[in-house]
Chains A and B, each alone.
Chain A
Amino acid sequence: MSEELKNNTPDNPEEPQYSLNDDRRVKVLSPGALVAKRFFRNRMAVVGLITLIAMFIFSFVGGMISPYTQDQLFYRTDLQNKEFAAIKVNDEYRYATAPNQEFSSVVQAQAFLAMQKGNSEFEYRGTNYTLKKEGENFYSVQLDGTTIGIAFMDIVSGADGEIKVDFDEHFAILKAYTNQEKKFEFNGSNYEIDAEGAIKKDGKEYALVGRYVINTILSDVKLTNAFREKLIEAIDTNKSEFDYSDENGDFTYTLKYDAANKMYSILQKKETKVFDTYAAPSKEHWLGTDRNGMDMLTRLMYGGRVSLMIGFIVEAIATVLGVIFGGLAGYFGKWVDMLIMRIVDVFYCIPSMPIIIIIGAAMDAMRVNPQVRMIYLMLILGFLGWPGVARMVRGQILSLREQEYMTAAEATGLKVSRRIFKHLVPNVIPQLIVSVTMGLGGTIITEATLSFLGLGVRFPFASWGNIINDVNDTYVLTNYWFIWIPAGICLLVTVLAFNLVGDGLRDAFDPRMKR
Chain B
Amino acid sequence: MRKYIVKRLIISLIILFFVAFIIYVLMRSLPTSYIENVARQKSMQPNSKSFEEWMEQLSATYGMNQGLFLGFINWLGRFFTGQFGDSWYYTVPVIDKFNDTVWLSFVMGLIAFTLELLIAIPLGIIAATKQYSKTDYTISVLALAGISLPTFFFASLLKLVFSVHLGWFDLFGLVGRSYELLSPMGKFLDKAHHLVLPIVTLVVISVGSLMRYTRTNMLEVLNADYIRTARAKGLSEKKVIYHHAFRNTLIPLVTMIGGSLPGLFSGALITETLYMIPGIGYTSYNAMVNGDIPFSMFYLVFMAILTLLGNLISDILYAVVDPRVRIA
Contacts and interface: CB of A to CB of B under 8 A. Distances in A.
Contacts of B34: 362, 365-366
A304 interface: no
Given A349-B308, A350-B22, A449-B270, A477 B156 contact: yes
B200 interface: no
Residue among A348, A354, A491 with the highest chain B CB neighbour number at 10 A: A354
Contacts of B164: 477-478
Contacts of A471: 152, 156
Contact of A357 (B38, B140, B289): B289
A254 B145 CA distance: 55
B179 interface: no
B251 interface: no
A321 B159 CA distance: 40
Nearest to B16: A349
A142 to B, nearest CB: 63
Contacts of A441: 147-148
B144 A496 contact: yes
B257 interface: no
Contacts of A355: 23, 26, 300
Contact of A44 (B37, B141, B273): B141
A350 B304 contact: yes
B36 to A, nearest CB: 11
Interface string B137-181: 100110011011111110011011000100000010000000000
Contacts of A492: 145, 148-150, 153
Contacts of B43: none
A354 B304 CA distance: 11
B201 interface: no
Nearest to A356: B288
A250 interface: no
Contacts of A481: 160
Interface residues of B, number: 53
A180 B141 CA distance: 90
B18 interface: yes
Interface in A324-367: 342, 345-346, 348-351, 353-355, 357-359, 361-362, 365-366
Contacts of B16: 349
A495 B291 contact: no
B300 A488 contact: no
A453 interface: yes
Contact of A362 (B19, B30, B140, B152): B30
A477 B269 contact: no
B288 A514 contact: no
Nearest to B164: A478
A496 B285 contact: no
Interface residues of A, number: 45
Interface string A470-494: 0100100110010011001001100
B91 interface: no
A496 B273 CA distance: 24
Contacts of A345: 15
Contacts of B303: 351, 354
A399 to B, nearest CB: 18
B19 A346 contact: yes
A515 interface: yes
Residue among A361, A445, A474, A485 with the highest chain B CB neighbour number at 10 A: A361
Contacts of B156: 468, 471, 477, 484, 488
B31 interface: yes
Contact of A365 (B14, B219, B284, B291): B291
Interface string A127-144: 000000000000000000
Contacts of A365: 34, 37-38, 291
Residue among B33, B223, B296 with the highest chain A CB neighbour number at 10 A: B296
B150 A366 contact: no
Contacts of A514: 131, 219, 223
B75 interface: no
Given A346-B18, A445-B148, A488-B156, 13 more contacts: A349-B16, A350-B19, A351-B266, A355-B23, A361-B288, A361-B289, A449-B270, A478-B160, A481-B160, A492-B150, A495-B150, A514-B131, A515-B140
The 8 closest A-B pairs by CB, nearest first: A488-B153, A351-B303, A495-B148, A496-B148, A349-B304, A346-B18, A349-B19, A452-B152
23 contacts: A342-B15, A346-B22, A350-B19, A351-B266, A354-B299, A355-B26, A358-B288, A361-B288, A361-B291, A445-B148, A445-B150, A448-B152, A449-B152, A453-B273, A477-B164, A478-B160, A478-B164, A492-B153, A496-B144, A496-B148, A514-B131, A514-B219, A515-B216
